[in-house]
Amino acid sequence: MELTETQRQELAEAEAQRHETRRPVSAGLEQILFRPIPVLDHGFVRVVDYMGDDSAVVQAARVSYGRGTKAANEDRGLIRYLLRHRHSTPFEMCEIKYHVKLPIFVARQWIRHRMANVNEYSARYSILDREFYLPAEDQLAAQSAVNRQGRGHVLQGEEAARVLDLLREDATRNYDHYLEMLNEDADGRVIDEGRQGLARELARMNLTLNAYTQWYWKSDLHNLLNFLSLRADAHAQYEIRVYAEAMLDTVKAWVPLVHEAFRDYRMGAVTLSSQMLAVVRGMLDGNPPEQAASGLSKREWRELMAILGREA
């Protein structure tokens, strides 16, 4: 990811600002505030604003006047209790706002999470940059034979090279046609004074889904954690997962106690159905039931055995 000179200047100006405040401040997040975290080939995530910290969660839970307790271990214990028992309201008291640059197809997957305030770069008013996501060779995978939403083996050699050529050729050609229809170059200058260009809101329809867009995305901490539990999961699509992983790093800097509890009780935990729990209890008692008598489908049985590290 490369920043333009204008972007570097804007970043320097933002970092130079100083404001006196009585509000709680997250020392860890202040260190990375405004700074773009590179994602994919041209994308990034950066925090542009936030409200609250670990103590804000504790304060809301206790409805107290202060910023938590004097003993950090008490705050940690309460946060872990709240997350473990899914008491979500205290986490809604913290908010964070991101500036994200991402491929359009990732944005369309991301926007399905209807739990944030979003303002996207408008191609009705502005010209999109000549930037396209081209997967790294180790991400060029065939369709999975067992998972309709997943990837199979990685393409190799000439087959992989041909796919990359097609992606690059289509994106470049369509962007050139986009500018031709606009009758403007990438800087908005008219190409041919003798003809009228197509409206920007119409010309944009010709762009490929790997073109980059940008948006501001603001969420409270509770909904952000729900988003990350799905999109930072190993089963999530790679292109959105790397954004979620970058955001997870910002959560660690922002609210380290919440991040620790989230890692333990969400990312590193599993949920068992009542039938699954009965199977586990049977195993502990030395009487493990067979799949047919367990009340579990074959798929559920395989998932449980995988969780327990046993052969299905």
Q: Are strands 117-120 and 141-143 parallel, antiparallel or unpaired?
A: unpaired
- Residue spans of the domains in the chain: they are 1-128+210-269, 274-308
CATH class of the domain defined by 1-128+210-269: alpha beta
pLDDT value, residue 166: 96
231 catalytically annotated: yes
The pLDDT, as a whole number, for residue 287 is 85
CA distance 185 to 190: 7
3-state secondary structure of 216: strand
Mean pLDDT of 176-183: 95
pLDDT at 256: 97
Q: Which of 48-62, 178-192, 243-257, 269-283 has the highest mean pLDDT?
A: 243-257
Q: Give the pair of three-digit tokens for residue 117.
A: 């305030």
The confidence score (pLDDT) of residue 2 equals 72
Name, in order, each residue with C-beta under 8 angstroms of 44's C-beta and a sequence gap of 6 or more. 1, 36, 37, 38, 99, 100, 101
Only one residue has tokens 């367990």, namely 294
Q: Which of 46, 76, 200, 231 is labelled catalytic?
A: 231
What pLDDT score was predicted for residue 248?
98
pLDDT tens by residue, 19-59: 888 888 999 999 999 999 999 999 999 999 999 999 999 99
Residue pair 29/54 in contact (Cβ under 8 Å)? The answer is no
Read off the pLDDT of residues 114-161 as tens digits, 9 standing for 90 and up: 999 999 999 998 999 999 999 998 898 887 777 667 777 888 889 999
Percentage of the chain beyond pLDDT 70 is 96
CA distance 8 to 248: 24
pTM given for the model: 0.91
